[in-house]
Amino acid sequence: MLRPERQTFREGKSILVLAAGLKSVDATASEPSGLDRLLALLGDDLKQVNRLIVEKMHSDVALIPQLAGHIVAAGGKRMRPLLTLAAARLCGYQGTRQHALAACVEFIHTATLLHDDVVDESALRRGRATANAVWGNKASVLVGDFLFSRAFQLMTADGSLAVLKILSDASAVIAEGEVQQLLTANDIETTVEAYLSVIGAKTAALFAAAARIGAVVADRPAADEEALRVYGQALGMAFQLIDDLLDYTAREADLGKSIGDDFRDGKLTLPVVLAIARGSADERAFWRRCLEDQDQQDGDLERAIALCERHGTLAETLALAGRYRDEALAALHRFPQGPIRQAMEEVARFTVDRGY
Amino acid sequence: MLRPERQTFREGKSILVLAAGLKSVDATASEPSGLDRLLALLGDDLKQVNRLIVEKMHSDVALIPQLAGHIVAAGGKRMRPLLTLAAARLCGYQGTRQHALAACVEFIHTATLLHDDVVDESALRRGRATANAVWGNKASVLVGDFLFSRAFQLMTADGSLAVLKILSDASAVIAEGEVQQLLTANDIETTVEAYLSVIGAKTAALFAAAARIGAVVADRPAADEEALRVYGQALGMAFQLIDDLLDYTAREADLGKSIGDDFRDGKLTLPVVLAIARGSADERAFWRRCLEDQDQQDGDLERAIALCERHGTLAETLALAGRYRDEALAALHRFPQGPIRQAMEEVARFTVDRGY
């Protein structure tokens, strides 16, 4: 077996050149995220998290920080660690434990992305070439494992078994969701329930855990923990619904990933699941050819979008995301009014607004 | 992209048929392992571990236990969990905490194997087709992630931060070792030090952690913990050295994996690292062509073996494994004589004896 990536491993220079080249395709850096207000309030906390991320990513095996840095730094909005930081402050916590735990959350997320690269073969993620495309499957899997282990080392050093339980539970659920997604891929019989179960596990579980551990470090009662879990879970659902919607509606430059990726991969996301359920026999045959048999031709994506529009499934996806947004907003009611709560509300609102 | 493995996912029957077919190539089941005495002493403990493995492997996503079961049940000798069980009893522990922790060790090991399948593309592992060959890269990565998460859930339920530290540290070191191995693959400049560092991390670290946590559950002083760590680390080194040796000397039926795998993959294991160092310019050109350029012809493996024999590197690898065996034996001196210590000594002796 020949290994085209060998040169990259050996020559630090090649990696730098590659990294420089990749930066130019980073389309997400200036993308509005709805996080601006949160960033303004939590900038100092986030600086500490970023410092820890760089410090704890270190390994004497130089490829690890190189590869991990590639994806950790790749225009990521740090949405999940920001949830931990925000929740801790919302709960009135004055300490600094949340910094290392927010870094754990980002490491788990990054490990998932690295492993998802192997899984999804998506050509673009966060607007850059995937780590996988640059370094190969092998390195992506192993560096993901390293980051995952590092996350558990950091949690252990923090010493809260409650946090360890929340994040190890979330990690298991994420893996289950990813496997479930694999099983529903290319299956036009996929139900709305199966779709919601997949995104609840692969995406929303980490949002929920990230927000919840903020209440844990603040040593707040179970009801506050639960409210923040619900906020994170509902926000994660809205986030993924809109992400899946944008794959059929966004302009490429806005999204930072290629439009039509999910269609080409045969992923059964909500706009399509609903369109299939409402489709004629002819339409079902179209979906089967495109998504199950993966036999796609020019114009098929356009026809898919037209079918989703005709059956109103894009609007319905947006509406469902709106209901999750409302659930997220309602979960915050028990917390005191103030700039942090306002900023967390803004995140929920913007998450859905970007779908318009 | 077409997905040939789809049918397998959908039809439980196909999986059963496959599993039945694979059993017939399981060559390791009756292989003597040196564990017989240990198994006789710890059979009841191991039964509890196996029960927990099956129970905790469960997921509502049916592919997970199917795929994990394929590799967990694949003639594995449970060597690593047995180390935990043995160490706990050697330390006079009378409880049952070691059962769940031994299951964690096996889950971490299995996750590593699943991810290694992606990495190594080895055609046979433990005498069966690899999980990867049957189900594809994607499922292997994700089910490995699930087992890894499950291990941390189990450790968290046990509640010992000391154990969590030992096993999260080991997991990070394993990942580093695997990445380092990727970097030394196909590099004929690999040094003995680099080779030893790789096997110390990718293999011996988990042996060391497995033995050490036996002392932790028994609440023994640090010196006992350290002695068991040294026993496990040295045993792991000996184990991997002999494994790498057998890839050049074993008959296929004995080993349960194809002879010459490492050579074909261009892995720089000790017999080869030493032979290259002592080789003429002509020989170096041969190794470069075979291992770096991966341009191999009929007869090359035989020539490689002949070169190793001429330079005495197979005997030297065996001798080094013997020194690690002696280190493992010495580490047990502080513990009371008795059947458990004798059985642990036998494991160390047999690990090297199988190289003759």
Enumerate the residues of chain A whose CB falls inside 8 A of the CB of residue B155. Answer: 164, 168
Cβ contact, residue pair A176, B60, below 8 Å? yes
Asked if the C-beta of A303 comes within 8 angstroms of chain B's C-beta atoms, the answer is no
What percent of chain B has pLDDT above 90? 71
CA distance linking residue A255 with residue A252, whole number of Å? 5
Enumerate the residues of chain A whose CB falls inside 8 A of the CB of residue B1. Answer: 121, 265, 294
Average pLDDT, chain A: 86
Of A146, A155, A172, the CB nearest to B179: A146
Q: Give me the DSSP letters along A272-323.
A: HHHHHHH--HHHHHHHIIIIIS----TTHHHHHHHHHHHTTHHHHHHHHHHH
- 304-343 in chain B: CB under 8 A from chain A: none
Is pTM, for the whole model, over 0.95? no
For residue B124, the model assigns a pLDDT of 37
CA distance linking residue A293 with residue A106, whole number of Å? 36
CA distance linking residue A194 with residue A184, whole number of Å? 8
Of B64, B141, B156, the CB nearest to A168: B156
Enumerate the residues of chain A whose CB falls inside 8 A of the CB of residue B165. Answer: 153, 156-157
N-to-C CA span, chain B:
48
Asked if the C-beta of B161 comes within 8 angstroms of chain A's C-beta atoms, the answer is yes
Name the helix (H) or strand (E) containing A143: helix A137-158
Size of interface A-B (CB pairs under 8 A): 158
User: Is the ipTM, as predicted for this complex, more than 0.90?
Assistant: no
Is the pLDDT reported for residue A255 higher than 70? no
Question: In 10 A of CB A190, how many CB atoms?
Answer: 23
Cβ contact, residue pair B168, A179, below 8 Å? no
Token digits for B252?
Answer: 């296929």
Higher pLDDT, A107 or B127: A107
3-class DSSP assignment, residue A356 = coil
CA distance linking residue B5 with residue A190, whole number of Å? 18
Asked if the C-beta of A158 comes within 8 angstroms of chain B's C-beta atoms, the answer is no
CA distance linking residue B261 with residue B313, whole number of Å? 18
The strand pairing partners of B183, in sequence order, are: none
Enumerate the residues of chain B whose CB falls inside 8 A of the CB of residue A178. Answer: 142, 145
Radius of gyration of chain A (CA): 20
CA distance linking residue A184 with residue A205, whole number of Å? 19
CA distance linking residue A79 with residue B81, whole number of Å? 39
- Quote the CATH superfamily of domain A32-353: Farnesyl Diphosphate Synthase (1.10.600.10)
Nearest CA in chain A to B8: A183
Average pLDDT per 10 consecutive residues for chain B, totaling 356 residues: 35 32 35 80 95 93 85 76 98 97 97 78 42 67 95 98 98 96 91 97 98 98 98 98 92 62 93 97 97 94 96 97 98 97 97 88
* Reported confidence tier of residue A185, pLDDT bands at 50, 70, 90: confident
Pairing type for strands A124-125 and A128-129 reads: antiparallel
Asked if the C-beta of B175 comes within 8 angstroms of chain A's C-beta atoms, the answer is yes
- Which amino acid, one-letter code, is at B298? D
For residue B137, the model assigns a pLDDT of 79
Asked if the C-beta of A183 comes within 8 angstroms of chain B's C-beta atoms, the answer is yes
Length of chain A: 356
Asked if the C-beta of A191 comes within 8 angstroms of chain B's C-beta atoms, the answer is no
Asked if the C-beta of A5 comes within 8 angstroms of chain B's C-beta atoms, the answer is no
How many alpha carbons lie under 13 Å from residue A223 in its C-beta half-sphere? 4
* Reported confidence tier of residue A118, pLDDT bands at 50, 70, 90: confident
Asked if the C-beta of B25 comes within 8 angstroms of chain A's C-beta atoms, the answer is no
Enumerate the residues of chain B whose CB falls inside 8 A of the CB of residue A163. Answer: none
Token digits for B116?
Answer: 């290694």
The strand pairing partners of A125, in sequence order, are: A128
Cβ contact, residue pair B172, A186, below 8 Å? no
Q: Where are the domains of chain B?
A: 32-353
Sign of CA dihedral A110, A115, A116, A122: positive
CA distance linking residue A329 with residue A320, whole number of Å? 14
CA distance linking residue B176 with residue A62, whole number of Å? 10
Nearest to B62 by CA among B20, B128, B116, B13: B13
Cβ contact, residue pair A179, B139, below 8 Å? yes
CA distance linking residue A19 with residue B26, whole number of Å? 45
Q: Per-residue pLDDT tens for A228-244? A: 999 999 999 999 999 99
Which runs of consecutive H residues, i.e. helices, occur in B57-191?
63-72, 79-90, 97-120, 131-135, 137-158, 161-184
Q: Are A37 and A343 in contact (CB under 8 A)?
A: yes
Length of chain B: 356
Phi/psi for B117 (5° steps) reads -60, -40
Q: Per-residue pLDDT tens for A120-160? A: 444 334 344 455 554 577 888 999 999 999 999 999 999 99
Cβ contact, residue pair A179, B146, below 8 Å? yes
Asked if the C-beta of A228 comes within 8 angstroms of chain B's C-beta atoms, the answer is no
Which residue out of B59, B112, B149 would a mutagenesis test of the A interface target, given it has the greatest number of A Cβ atoms within 10 Å? B149
- 86-115 in chain B: CB under 8 A from chain A: 111, 115
- Our CA-based measurement puts residue A115 at a distance from the nearest CA of chain B, in whole angstroms, of 7
Asked if the C-beta of B172 comes within 8 angstroms of chain A's C-beta atoms, the answer is yes
- The residues, any chain, with a CB within 8 Å of residue A54's CB and separated by 6 or more, are A69
Q: Per-residue pLDDT tens for A28-77? A: 444 456 889 999 999 999 999 999 999 999 999 988 988 888 777 655 78
CA distance linking residue B165 with residue A159, whole number of Å? 10
